[in-house]
């Protein structure tokens, strides 16, 4: 069996460091917002080149609390992509705002700035671009739209930790940015976890308050908050992996380029790099009119593969009644033809060659 992500191999490489850190935490019995969370927040801020990072319980919470801290509320419209995980839109709904879905670029699969401009109305208050699959989006035109229309920019970096654009880390450009540490992510924990990055002192203060029951001082509560704190044990794991994130991402890039090289003559479309930034390949996603045939053939050979995402958000049952007249042709085409292959920091060239040989035989 070839898994989509080989977490066991990654763990084996750093097992001693993680277990030493976990043992110390368990011995000290310091579990909530203790030394490892504080250290990780400082290390992550330094790596990302931002003033503040605040650990929270999940990537979804990172988006939700960012929207709250920035002041997005009921009646507002937030423009985003329909080709992403539902958490992006869920967070918008959590604060009572309305997701406005626009189409994507056919090459990068990221939100199309030209479509954003068409969707701006007097109710628009924010834009959430997603750096999908680790491909950083060029934020320059989006930033210009935000300045022109007085909109807030929130980056969804759930899949792009370590990706750069114009020499800057994704997540260092918007008012606030949200990261996910779901185990399969480029920087993954041993469970759920998330992070908010910001250069704003005010937003950082509000996020810290919101994640801890609306409290800045124990038992004194100024607002209704949430229980959304990054766990100390997860911080131990993340600190060990953060030291290695650049090598992890470089290994992913090597594997992605090998995939593309070996499949360059096949009747399918391999991932596109626009060379504006550093793609970190959270997923290696190709397009093929024979997607389902490839999917079934790989599964029969016990080769992991997945469709991210088979149903765009505007066509999901939960949203479809509100967007039944919305047509996003590029999004819908990509969703019908995309397939993601196994990729992680530990996959070897021999495995990639076996996967591509299998795809060649299927086609």
Which domains does the chain show, CATH number per domain? 7-102+110-242 (3.40.640.10), 245-362 (3.90.1150.10)
The pTM (predicted TM-score) of the whole model is 0.97
Q: What share of residues in the chain are helix, strand, coil (percent, to 5)? A: 45, 20, 40
Whether the Cβ atoms of residue 303 and residue 2 lie closer than 8 Å to each other: yes
The tokens describing 361, both together, are: 């035989």
Q: pLDDT of 20-53, one tens digit each?
A: 999 999 999 999 999 999 999 999 999 999 999 9
Residues above pLDDT 70, as percent of the chain: 100
Q: What is the pLDDT of residue 110?
A: 98
Q: What are phi and psi of 196, to 5 degrees?
A: -110, 135
Q: pLDDT of 44-65, one tens digit each?
A: 999 999 999 999 999 999 999 9
Average pLDDT over residues 173-201: 98
pLDDT band for 275, please (50, 70, 90 cuts).
confident
Average pLDDT over residues 339-349: 97
Q: pLDDT of 87-105, one tens digit each?
A: 999 999 999 999 999 999 9
pLDDT band for 360, please (50, 70, 90 cuts).
very high
E strand spans, the chain: 52-56, 77-81, 98-102, 124-128, 152-156, 164-165, 168-169, 176-180, 194-198, 215-217, 220-221, 277-278, 284-287, 338-341
Long-range Cβ contact pairs of 164-168 (< 8 A, separation 24 or more) = 164/136, 164/277, 164/278, 165/136, 165/137, 165/138, 165/139, 165/276, 165/277, 165/278, 166/140, 166/276, 166/277, 168/49
Distance from C-alpha of 215 to C-alpha of 211, rounded to nearest angstrom: 8
User: If you average pLDDT over every residue of the chain, what do you get?
Assistant: 97
Average pLDDT over residues 66-70: 98
The tokens describing 168, both together, are: 């800057």
Q: pLDDT of 321-342, one tens digit each?
A: 999 999 999 999 999 999 999 9
Q: pLDDT of 143-163, one tens digit each?
A: 999 999 999 999 999 999 999
């Amino acid at each position: 069996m070839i898994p989509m992500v080989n977490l066991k191999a990654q763990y084996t490489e750093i097992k001693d460091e993680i277990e030493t850190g976990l043992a110390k935490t368990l011995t000290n019995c310091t579990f909530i917002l203790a030394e490892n969370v504080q250290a990780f927040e400082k290390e992550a801020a330094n790596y990302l080149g931002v003033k503040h990072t605040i650990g929270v319980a999940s990537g979804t919470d990172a988006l939700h609390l960012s929207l709250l801290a920035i002041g997005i509320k009921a009646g507002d419209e937030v423009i985003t992509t329909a080709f992403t995980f539902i958490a992006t839109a869920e967070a918008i709904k959590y604060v009572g705002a309305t997701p406005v879905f626009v189409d994507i670029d056919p090459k990068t699969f990221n939100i199309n700035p030209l479509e954003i401009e068409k969707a701006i109305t007097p109710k628009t208050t924010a834009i959430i671009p997603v750096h999908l699959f680790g491909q950083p989006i060029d934020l320059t035109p989006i930033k210009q739209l935000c300045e022109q229309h007085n909109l807030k920019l929130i980056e969804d970096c759930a899949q792009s930790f370590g990706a750069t654009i114009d020499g800057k880390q994704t997540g260092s450009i918007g008012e606030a940015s949200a990261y996910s540490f779901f185990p399969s992510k480029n920087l993954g924990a041993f469970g759920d976890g998330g992070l908010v990055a910001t250069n704003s002192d005010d937003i950082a203060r509000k996020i810290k308050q919101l994640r801890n029951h609306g409290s800045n001082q124990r038992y004194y509560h100024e607002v209704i908050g949430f229980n959304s704190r990054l766990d100390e044990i997860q911080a131990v794991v993340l600190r060990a992996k953060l030291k290695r994130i650049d090598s992890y991402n470089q290994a992913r890039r090597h594997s992605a380029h090998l995939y593309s090289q070996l499949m360059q003559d096949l009747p399918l479309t391999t991932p596109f790099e626009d060379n504006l930034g550093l793609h970190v390949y959270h997923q290696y996603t190709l397009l093929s009119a024979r997607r389902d045939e490839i999917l079934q053939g790989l599964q029969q050979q016990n080769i992991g593969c997945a469709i991210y995402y088979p149903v765009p958000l505007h066509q999901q049952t939960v949203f479809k009644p509100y967007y039944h007249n919305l047509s996003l042709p590029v999004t819908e085409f990509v969703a019908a033809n995309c397939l993601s292959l196994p990729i992680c920091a530990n996959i070897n060239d021999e495995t990639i060659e076996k996967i591509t040989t299998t795809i060649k035989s299927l086609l």
